[in-house]
Amino acid sequence: MKQKELIVSRPEISRRVKELAGDIARDYAGGSLVTIGVLKGAFVFLADLIRELDLPVEVDFVRAASYGRGTVSSNDLRLIMDIELDIIGRDILIVEDIVDTGLTVSYLKELFKGRRARSVRICALIDKKERRQIKIELDYVGFEVGQGFLIGYGLDCAEQHRHYPEVYCLKD
């Protein structure tokens, strides 16, 4: 396999996830939240995040495909698995592993707003700004990363490497 470089360590992730959960719980205090994880990549982050969240929370998942087996983004986004919960009047938090072009989260945000959610916010573990194609406000961000293809902590390359507890950059 290719060489990999450590980008975010396990203790850094734990600390930041706790901070994000604290911010989120404060912002929604007295209310409740529907977290919607974007499969597959966000499942590890979502699992850690909700266990730090001191708030009534429901969990659902959506699956959107914007990447094939390689590492190049494509514009043809498809919804291949929908949520099950009724989100009318609910506060929604989209939970993503990484925002790259921004196409996925902006598509999902519009989708859930169109279903008459009360509010829709975005929480991303990693904000990778370099290739952003759409201006989109991310409400909660774990780490900002300039460039590179990242793996681990849910993030894959051709379905490999999701299980690493840390985030690495693939070196070519």
Evaluate whether 95 touches 38 at the Cβ level (below 8 Å): yes
**76 in active site:** no
Contact letters for Mg ion, residues 34-53 (x by CB under 5 A): ----x--x------------
Separation of alpha carbons 36 and 123, rounded Å: 10
Residue 123, classified by CB atoms within 10 Å of its CB into exposed (0-12), middle (13-18) or buried (19+), is: buried
Q: Which residue's Cβ lies closest to Mg ion? A: 41
Which residue in 36, 103, 123, 138 binds ligand IMP (CB under 6 A)? 103
**Hey, which residues between 108 and 137 contact ligand IMP (CB under 6 A)?**
128
13, interface contact from ligand IMP, Mg ion, none, CB < 5-8 Å by kind: none
Supply 128's token pair.
């990778």
**Hey, which residues between 13 and 72 contact ligand IMP (CB under 6 A)?**
38, 41, 66-67
Q: Which is nearer to Mg ion, 73 or 119 (CB)?
A: 73
From the list 48, 91, 97, 100, the catalytic residue is 100
Separation of alpha carbons 142 and 127, rounded Å: 8
Q: Which helix (H) or strand (E) holds 24?
A: helix 10-27
Q: Which is nearer to ligand IMP, 28 or 153 (CB)?
A: 153
In angstroms, what CA-CA distances link 120 with 10, 19, 110, 116, 160? 29, 20, 9, 10, 31
We find the least distance from the C-beta atom of residue 12 to ligand IMP, in angstroms, to be 17
- Catalytic residues, which ones? 100
Site for ligand IMP, rule CB under 6 A: 38, 41, 66-67, 73, 96-104, 128, 149-150, 155-156
